Amino acid sequence: MRMINYFAEASSSDTVIKVIIKMNKLILLLVFLLTACSQSTDKQNLETNATKTSESYTVSRAEYLSKLQGFWLGQSIANWTGLVTEMDKVGTPATMPFYTDDDWGSKDLPAIWGEGVPHSDVIDFFFVEEGQPWGADDDTDIEYMYQYLHEFHQTSLLSAEQIRTGWLKHTYSEEDAPLFKKFPDSTAVQENFLWESNQQARILMAQGMLPPATSEPENNAKYMMIDAQLTTEIFGLLAPVRVDIALKLSHLPIRVSAKYDAQWISQFYITMHSLASKVDKSLSMHQQTIWLAEQARLILPEQSTPAKMYDFIINSYQVNPNKNDWEKTRDAVYQRYQVNNSDGYVYNDPFEAGINFAASLVSLFYGEGDIVRTIQVGTLAGWDSDNPTATWGGLLGFMIGKEGVAQAFKQDNLSESYWIHRTRRNFPDHTPNQLGEDTFTMMAQRAIKVIDQVVIEQMQGRVDVENNVWLIPENRS
């Protein structure tokens, strides 16, 4: 508007010349400001995320170390918080209404199997303080195992045989699992902490079958369950920036237990984790998570049920004028997918990947990039509530780093010890003088070495030790 007024003021050639000079000065000023903003953004990204040259990305290994610690910490907080309400609410709202925000801080109700959880009887955030270890659970322990298998075999790409051998060595069968007491006064039972499709896959692997055959419908009737989401998100972090490599690394681990919708949903989550290394950090956390989700949406087959679920839920969020009323979209998910079986989805089981993918998107969108709010909504949303919370707790924890997680929850004494042998077996004890067998710091340090190998062998990139960065070529395919 200001430049148009210049022309309106011109009444002689001299005036026109003066106007042109003023316009040139204004243009030069705009160019200077745009250049300065660009340089500021580049500097910010250099300090916090990947920067792109004409042919490659530069990712700080030091920054990535803190982010990986944040991944494990955020995932553990979310996992153990979500476990409080796991399978409490799986539909039938007339007789067992869903949780809402008003239930936060109230007494936990029994799950569909009639029991609560031993670590908390209140619906609230759960923290483990220094001196005690975070217990392994199925949302973290198989990811831990996969990282270890990369370390043990010194490989950037696991083979089907290495995966099968690892599962049989590090997970229990139903026959050789140790006795486990859920409550101090309860009867001890054998528990191998494998559910649904993962359990069937292990049985098949014990019989000699290899992935991907272990997820073929004729061999594994549970192939549409949520299991692969629990076990494979870490592959996105082992392949920063490069989604193509992340999907290559995760192909067989996903196909241990998932095919079709469950496979595509797992790839959606892996894509977000990989791209978290290149998201524009000048955007707000809300904008960053939306960008990541929109990029991951592109890998879902266009006419697939997960793609249609995504489109319905993000539209429901966008048109909702009250962004605190996440329950409105959750209730719409229940009606559309559990009751009406829309978009090609036929609900059979609250452990399915589909219904839990829908619930996870509700918490992602309404959480708006805030790790605290995202985990809270995920915990209250229903169904298999510990799994979506763990997914987003890990991703957002990675994005803000270990210190960011502690600050978000206003905690200054969080444990970073990890007790893998709570649920799995035959791993080295890295911390023989303290409870647990590992720490998030050491887990992150070893992951950096795995990523070094992935960058070199799978990406044909380079580890610049002097500057402590990875130089990752752009995918040209």
Q: What is the pLDDT of residues 256-288, one digit of tens each?
A: 999 999 999 999 999 999 999 999 999 999 999
- Phi and psi, residue 108, nearest 5°: -70, 140
Q: Which of 468, 458, 91, 411 is nearest to 240 (CA)?
A: 458
Average pLDDT, the chain: 90
Residue 409 has pLDDT above 90, yes or no: yes
Amino acid at residue number 426:
N
pLDDT bucket at 476, cuts 50 / 70 / 90 = confident
Q: Which of 323, 326, 381 is nearest to 82 (CA)?
A: 381
CB-CB contact of 73 with 370 (8 Å) = no
The pLDDT value given to residue 160: 98
Please give the DSSP secondary-structure letter assigned to residue 411. Answer: -
Q: Which fold has domain 60-473?
A: ADP-ribosylglycohydrolase fold (1.10.4080)
pLDDT bucket at 95, cuts 50 / 70 / 90 = confident
pLDDT bucket at 182, cuts 50 / 70 / 90 = confident
- Phi and psi, residue 473, nearest 5°: -65, 145
Mean pLDDT, residues 129-142 taken together = 97
One-letter-per-residue 3-state SS of 27-60 = HHHHHHHHHHHHHHHHHHHHHHCCEECCCEEEEE
CB-CB contact of 45 with 282 (8 Å) = yes
Residue 34 has pLDDT above 80, yes or no: no
Mean pLDDT, residues 429-455 taken together = 97
pLDDT bucket at 9, cuts 50 / 70 / 90 = very low
What are the start-end ranges of the H helices in 301-352?
A: 305-319, 326-333
Residues near 382 by beta carbon (within 8 Å), at least 6 away in sequence: 85, 88, 89, 90, 91, 98, 99, 330, 334, 359
Distance CA 239, CA 311 (A): 27
Residues in the chain, overall count = 477
Please give the DSSP secondary-structure letter assigned to residue 178. Answer: P
Please give the DSSP secondary-structure letter assigned to residue 239. Answer: S
The pLDDT value given to residue 109: 96
CB-CB contact of 229 with 270 (8 Å) = no
Every domain of the chain with CATH number 1.10.4080.10 lies at: 60-473
Residue 375: alpha-carbon gap to chain centroid: 12
Mean pLDDT, residues 114-142 taken together = 97
Distance CA 60, CA 47 (A): 8
Residue 40 has pLDDT above 90, yes or no: no
Please give the DSSP secondary-structure letter assigned to residue 101. Answer: G
pLDDT digits (tens, 9 = 90+) for 380-390: 999 999 999 99
The pLDDT value given to residue 54: 64
CA end-to-end span of the chain: 45
Q: Beta-carbon neighbour count of residue 65 at 10 Å? A: 18
- The pTM of the full predicted model, rounded to 2 decimals, is 0.89
Residue 327 has pLDDT above 90, yes or no: yes
Mean pLDDT, residues 431-438 taken together = 96
What are the start-end ranges of the H helices in 368-412?
A: 371-381, 386-408
